[in-house]
Each structure stands twice: as structure tokens, then as C-alpha cells.
Amino acid sequence: MKTSPIIALDFPSAQEAYTFLQPFDGGLNVKVGMQLYYQEGPAIVAKLKEQGYDVFLDLKLHDIPNTVKSAMEVLAGHGADLVNVHAAGGKTMMEAALEGLDKGTPAGQLRPSIIAVTQLTSTDEQQMQREQLVETSLENSVLHYAQLTQSAQLDGVVCSVHEASAITDRCGKAFFKVTPGIRLAESGTQDQKRIATPAEARHAGSTHIVVGRAVTAAKDPLAAYEMICAQWEGLK
Ligand code: C5P
């Protein structure tokens, strides 16, 4: 995946996603999530790849190891550049995911990178402690999941910007820190709790940022995207 911002195509149909993409130059990093994938199926990934986009297929698999392994074997054939699971599924599940991906990657093609969601960026510490009965801090929980993910040989994690630098200290610079919950200073938080700006993400050592509504719901999406790129690249 290129290091440019990953735009979350959280749209109900391919038609709406393509209408949104029209003003942009090709070659963007895009994310296909559950809504678009469940509506359009594997064809949406193939079509975006054909058109030169790098694709993060964000389906957050979380099931017993054998089921995740078989699902990843299928997903490996879709041509996405990056896929993911929930670290809460456990080390054996993550290893199975990787095994499935390796097995399903067509000969001569690169295996998609695979990362694990630590704690969702819509979760805050109080909620985690109350609802998951996790007694440690949110940062500790995320760090624990990051190390578990690394021990399963995955390529990195999804985390918030607030944990990115601590993860780099423990897991190294090359370990992916893909950070959603990105907002420009003036945009609202919506359902996200652990948010940050693109500049904060760069300073914290995120390797990739995921941007949804700050671009897709902007009055001028192209201008919002350019502003985010400038902040992410340290030009503003
Ligand atoms: O609109 P917004 O920028 O909040 O969208 C964030 C995107 O990143 C959504 O598609 C959401 O599903 C995804 N995501 C997230 N938190 C994670 C993993 C993925 O917000 N931990």
C-alpha cells in the first residue's frame, strides 16, 4: 500500500463510490468496508484494482481459526493489497489467517499485507473497562494486542494515533500503524472517540492514515483531501 491517505469508501453502492472518486486523479489508496463489499461483492475490489487504486479490504474477520483461514484463502484471490482481522480473535486465529492468505495467493502474485484491529477507535477506556471487563488502561490493551499481532507474524495493526508511538517503540518502525479516527481541526468527531489530525498522526509515527467522513462528507472533497495530504506530508 502506498503511504498516501487511505480514503474510506463508505458508500452504499459502487455507483456512489465512483461518483465520489470522479474528481480525483487515479492511483488513490481506497478502503472498501463492509457496506460496499456486502452490496457489491468481490467485483468492486477487482474493478478498483483494474482502475489503478490500491485497495484495503476492511472486513475485520473475527471467528474460529479454521473459518478465518478458509475465508482468507478466498479473500487472497480478490486482489486486495491489505486485509484485516480482529486481534481479539487470538494468536492462533491470526496465524490461521496468515496461513489462509499464503495458501490462497495466486502464483506469481504478492500476498496481501495483513493487519489486526486492536481496540476500535470508537472505543474509549471507560467503555472498554466496563463492557470488555479489561482492567488495564486502553493504551496497555492496544500495546498488548500489537505485540500479540507481531508474535503471530502479521504486518501491523489498526490503532489510534494516540498509541502509534508506543507501538513503534515496542514493535519497530516497519510494523504498520494504520490509524483511523482522523479529523481536520474543524470537523466533528461523529461516532469516533480517539481522534487526531493528520499532522498529529505524522508526528506520532502512523505509517498510514484512514480518512472517511472528513473527506467523503466535506463540501469540497477534493479540497479536503488535498488539505489532509498537505498536513500528512508536513507541508502545512
Ligand atoms: O468517517 P471516519 O473517518 O470516522 O471513518 C473511519 C473508517 O475507518 C470507517 O470506515 C471505519 O469502519 C474504519 N475503522 C475505524 N476504526 C478501526 C478500524 C477501521 O474507524 N479501528
Contact 10, 33 (CB under 8 A): yes
Per residue in 52-79, pLDDT (tens digit) is 999 999 999 999 999 999 999 999 999 9
Q: Is the CB of 198 inside a 6 Å radius of any atom of ligand 1? A: no
Amino acid letter, 58: D
Q: Tell me: pLDDT of 26 over 90.
A: no
Contact 23, 222 (CB under 8 A): yes
Give me the domains of the chain, ranges plus CATH numbers.
6-232 (3.20.20.70)
Split at pLDDT 50, 70, 90, the class of 232 is very high
Contact 35, 56 (CB under 8 A): no
Of 25, 52, 21, residue with least CA distance to 36: 21
Of 114, 106, 101, 41, residue with least CA distance to 71: 101
Q: Tell me: pLDDT of 43 over 90.
A: yes
CA distance 114 to 105: 13
What's the whole-number mean pLDDT along residues 101-112? 97
Q: What is the DSSP letter of 108?
A: T
Q: Is the CB of 10 inside a 6 Å radius of any atom of ligand 1? A: yes
Ligand 1 atom at shortest distance from the alpha carbon of 8: 10
Of 72, 61, 75, 80, residue with least CA distance to 99: 72
Q: What is the pLDDT of residue 189?
A: 79
Split at pLDDT 50, 70, 90, the class of 137 is very high
CA distance 174 to 168: 8
Q: Is the CB of 211 inside a 6 Å radius of any atom of ligand 1? A: yes
User: What percent of the chain shows pLDDT beyond 90?
Assistant: 93
Query: Would you name the residues annotated as active-site residues?
Result: 60
N residues, the chain: 236
